[in-house]
């Protein structure tokens, strides 16, 4: 095989591989958008259904008041959720740059959730939802679920894996 044929063959493989990667990205984006829409179709986005919550440390947090001037990321997670183990560090990072309130869904007692948070070194605000009552009010059916609340309305919802960039872009 001549040198020019090898170069052309190599270039064609790279072009074909780049095209395949582009199609894969398009497929993943379309699929994840469809899944997010399907999972969140029952959630009323016109008004956030919860105004105040009690954090693990006992303080009350007024979510509606927080959302009036800048967006609030509501992160519903669980200590037993495999995907949450990958998303939660990103949420923790974002909590240093934006308002974040998380809801620990059916993750045990307040003591157990506090231990989990301390063990992993997370620094975001946490609400314990041991029986899932709060999550039902939010119509959450999947963990992790991320909601962005602005001026009392849900402006973005996503479920499953989310990257740090994806979280950041939803907050804009």
- Tell me the CB-side half-sphere exposure of residue 81, using CA atoms within 13 A: 25
Residue 114 DSSP symbol: H
Output the CATH code of domain 52-171.
Answer: 3.40.30.10
User: What local confidence, expressed as pLDDT, does residue 158 receive?
Assistant: 87
Q: How confident is the model at residue 2 (pLDDT cuts 50, 70, 90)?
A: low
Reference 104, options 75, 82, 138, 83; nearest CA is: 75
Banded model confidence at residue 105, pLDDT cuts 50, 70, 90? very high
Question: Model pTM?
Answer: 0.79
Decide which of 166 and 39 is more confident.
166
The confidence score (pLDDT) of residue 104 equals 98
Q: Angle CA(143)–CA(37)–CA(55) in degrees, nearest 5?
A: 35
Position 61 scores a pLDDT of 95
Rounded (10°) CA dihedral 48, 50, 54, 56 = -50
The pLDDT-based confidence of 79 (bands split at 50, 70, 90) is very high
Structure-derived torsion over alpha carbons of residues 158, 164, 165, 168, reported in degrees to the nearest 10: 70
Neighbour-count burial of 125, counting CB atoms closer than 10 A to its CB (0-12 exposed, 13-18 middle, 19+ buried): buried
DSSP 3-state of 31: helix
Q: What are phi and psi of 73, to 5 degrees?
A: -90, 120
More confident site: 131 or 171 = 131
To which H or E segment does residue 16 belong?
A: helix 3-40
How does the average pLDDT of the chain come out, rounded? 88
What are the extents of the domains in the chain?
1-41, 52-171
What is the structure's pLDDT at 32? 66
Rg over alpha carbons for the chain, rounded to the nearest Å, is: 20
- What are residue 147's DSSP bridge partners? 74, 157
Please give the pLDDT value at position 166.
Answer: 86
Q: Break the chain down into helix, strand, coil percent, rounded to 5.
A: 45, 20, 35
Q: What is the mean pLDDT of residues 58-71?
A: 95
Q: How does pLDDT run across 6-64, given as a tens digit for each residue? A: 666 878 888 888 888 888 877 776 666 666 666 666 666 676 888 899 999 999 999 99
């Amino acid at each position: 095989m001549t040198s020019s044929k090898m170069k052309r063959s190599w270039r064609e493989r790279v072009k074909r591989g780049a095209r395949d990667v582009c199609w894969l990205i398009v497929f993943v984006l379309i699929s994840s958008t469809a899944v997010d829409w399907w999972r969140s179709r029952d959630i009323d986005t016109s008004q956030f259904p919860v105004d105040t919550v009690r954090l693990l440390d006992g303080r009350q947090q007024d979510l509606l008041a927080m959302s009036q001037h800048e967006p609030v990321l509501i992160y519903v997670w669980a200590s037993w959720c495999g995907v949450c183990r990958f998303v939660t560090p990103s949420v923790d990072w974002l909590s240093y740059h934006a308002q974040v309130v998380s809801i620990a869904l059916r993750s045990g007692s307040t003591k157990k959730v506090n231990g989990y948070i301390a063990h992993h070194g997370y620094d975001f605000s946490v609400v314990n939802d041991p029986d899932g009552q709060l999550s039902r009010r939010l119509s959450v059916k999947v963990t992790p679920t991320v909601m962005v609340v602005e001026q009392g309305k849900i402006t973005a919802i996503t479920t499953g894996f989310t990257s740090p960039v994806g979280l950041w872009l939803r907050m804009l």
